[in-house]
Chain A
């Protein structure tokens, strides 16, 4: 293995570069939240949280939290100028109604037709879904940020998902630790890959065929602190 895969902050950085000025964006709890840290300067992006807020900002310092001002991850937040607060039905109206530009989520598996599995890996334990199924059926773009493979090296990008689905044919683009991939016409189209990984090696780590439609761009990301 002669390549060095991207860290989670580096994957988040790469995804952040593609969010347009003026976009309304929902970031999933956990790793996807990192995308907010890497907004290119000069772009104004409005972040949405499912519990009923648009335009929230950074977390307050320890001890300054107001527990009536939280995000869907139940973390304390602040409000940016121009923020708005509304009830839970309005919060999901703006999602399902097609008003939200981008939803960024994690994944257990993504299928080549855009099916997403990200809410449970089997049928044991306590299931919990939150707003994921609403987000993937409402946002104009559904973006996945993920390691390219599982912890034990199995492909996360697959022909069809074996885990329970969150949504069907919903994912539009995938940013992984090795590549950037578009879902187009029920196929994985490779847009970018790390310079030091060969196409064949990348294909061997991917559970479905990678298609090339244009010249593949090198996936280049700065060194970032974890």
Chain B
């Protein structure tokens, strides 16, 4: 078994027009920025993929990463919890002009919907958002005297994630708070593509230290000198 892929271009080659695409990370931490930029490159060359639905905690910052996908016109919908950042004008402009649809989801509900998608649980009740605009139209049920809102699972055609170490079987471990949504998204996508800082031999990640078991991962590409989004933005990098 060898899930490694030679390069970033091959890693993102199978993402289709109209795909629901989960992208890991919280801000720049754990964001697979090189995979995202490989997808932007493919769009520039071929005009595909377009009409993507992006699932991420945020909606892009500056002119790189998810913001670059937005600026290139590859995205028709964003599902996220917090689309406003220091420099989120790429999203803001397209949202206010009606070019992009937004599904706003409380952060814990977003995480649990993704987890449920990966775990085969089609819906669950949560207290979050009860009595607010974000529960509008959703069934409510009382349990032990408290009201809960019915939320549905969230699944994706593909997930782009970033991990620190991976082996050819797809086992992953993460660096510090770069873990965030990444392990959940690995579970919830039909095709999970991971960029890792270092590919090692099976067994080098101790079995007890594997965070994402390889069963959830389909493709693995090594990006040994990944540049953090925060560093790129401070350096004034623009990708679109």
Contacts and interface: CB of A to CB of B under 8 A. Distances in A.
Interface stretch (A7-15, A31-39, A148-156, A163-171): A163-171
Q: Give the one of B96, B104, B177, B229 with max A CB within 10 A.
A: B177
A69 B178 CA distance: 7
A90 to B, nearest CB: 9
A68 B108 CA distance: 20
Nearest to B231: A67
Interface residues of A, number: 40
Interface stretch (A101-109, A133-141, A177-185, A205-213): A133-141
Contacts of A128: 81-84, 104
A129 B228 CA distance: 25
B100 to A, nearest CB: 11
A26 B208 CA distance: 29
B175 A92 contact: no
Interface stretch (A81-89, A186-194, A196-204): A81-89
A127 B95 CA distance: 10
Nearest to A120: B133
Contact of A131 (B91, B102, B108, B230): B108
Interface string B184-205: 1000000000000000000000
Contacts of A95: 108
B134 A129 contact: yes
B179 A129 contact: no
Nearest to A164: B133
B111 A88 contact: yes
Contacts of B4: none
Contacts of B126: 96, 137
Given A68-B178, A126-B84, A164 B111 contact: no
Contacts of A138: 108, 127-128
A41 interface: no
Contact of B111 (A91, A126, A127, A168): A91
Contacts of B88: 126
Interface residues of B, number: 52
Contact of B107 (A65, A129, A164, A166): A129
Give chain A's interface secondary structure class.
loop
A50 B107 contact: yes
Contacts of A129: 81-82, 104-107, 134
A52 interface: yes
A69 B111 contact: no
A130 interface: yes
A96 B134 CA distance: 17
A51 B82 contact: no
Contacts of B183: 87
Contacts of B211: 87
B30 interface: yes
A49 B176 CA distance: 13
B108 A134 contact: yes
B182 interface: yes
A74 B27 contact: yes
Nearest to A86: B179
Given A67-B231, A168-B131, A133 B83 contact: no
Nearest 5 A/B pairs, CB to CB: A92-B108, A134-B108, A168-B131, A88-B111, A137-B127
Given A52-B177, A67-B29, A74-B28, 10 more contacts: A50-B107, A51-B180, A53-B177, A67-B230, A88-B57, A89-B184, A92-B107, A133-B108, A167-B132, A168-B131
15 contacts: A50-B107, A68-B228, A70-B26, A70-B27, A85-B179, A87-B111, A87-B184, A89-B111, A127-B102, A128-B81, A129-B107, A133-B129, A137-B128, A165-B133, A168-B132
Interface of B: 26-30, 57, 81-85, 88, 91-92, 95-96, 102, 104-112, 114-115, 126-134, 175-184, 211, 228-231
